[in-house]
Structures are given as structure tokens and as C-alpha cells.
């Protein structure tokens, strides 16, 4: 998969005791991300594909085995909640 998720610039992220507290002012909703979901969110920088993120998590949690489906589900949830979205394709970015 070549999807490169990126954080929605409108959301506010604050560290919490068990991960991140995420506030979306567009929907006036608060979300909680545990440590693993927070790591996934950190890697949603528009440069990493979902597969890249899964590979990174497999390195952090080697005993967990293959994490592609779990990461894909996590990114899907983050996307459904409006916390991340696909990064614009290089052709979609206008030069400055």
C-alpha cells in the first residue's frame, strides 16, 4: 500500500499518562490514543507508508510478529475519526 497518512493539522495532541489525548476542534471531540497508537500517530508524517509504520512497530515489538493488519486497522480508525488523512500526492503539491 502506498498510502502515506499525515496528521490533520487542526487536531491538538497532548501527552497523557497512558499515551495521547487528542482534541479535534472541527468536531469538538476528544480521543485517547494508547502508547502503541501514539507511536503509530507519530509515524503518520506523510513520509511513511502504512507498511513502513508496520515495519517500524515490528522492530519495537519483535515478539508481536507481523503487525501489518493491526497497523492498517489503527490507521483506518485514525482516518475515520479525522485525526489523519492521506498525504497529498507529489503531483498535487504546488511549488512554492
**Eight-state DSSP code of residue 82:** T
Residues 21-63 have pLDDT tens digits of 999 999 999 999 999 999 999 999 999 999 999 999 999 999 8
What is the pTM for the complete model shown? Answer: 0.85
Count the domains in the chain.
1
65 located within any domain: yes
Query: Could you write out the DSSP letters of every residue in 4-50?
Result: -EEE-TT-EEEEETTEEEEEETTTTEEEEEEHHHHHHHHH-BSSS-H
The CATH number given to whatever domain includes residue 30 is 1.10.10.1150
Q: Which domain holds residue 52?
A: 5-86
Q: How confident is the model at residue 89 (pLDDT cuts 50, 70, 90)?
A: confident
Amino acid at each position: 500500500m502506498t498510502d502515506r497518512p499525515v496528521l490533520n493539522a487542526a487536531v491538538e495532541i497532548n501527552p497523557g499518562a497512558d499515551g495521547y489525548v487528542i482534541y479535534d476542534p472541527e468536531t469538538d471531540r476528544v480521543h485517547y490514543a494508547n502508547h502503541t497508537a501514539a507511536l503509530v500517530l507519530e509515524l503518520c508524517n506523510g513520509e511513511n507508508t502504512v507498511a513502513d509504520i508496520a515495519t517500524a512497530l515490528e522492530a519495537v515489538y519483535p515478539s508481536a510478529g507481523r503487525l501489518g493488519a493491526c497497523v492498517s486497522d489503527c490507521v483506518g480508525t485514525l482516518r475515520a475519526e479525522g485525526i489523519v488523512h492521506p498525504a497529498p500526492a507529489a503531483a498535487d503539491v504546488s511549488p512554492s
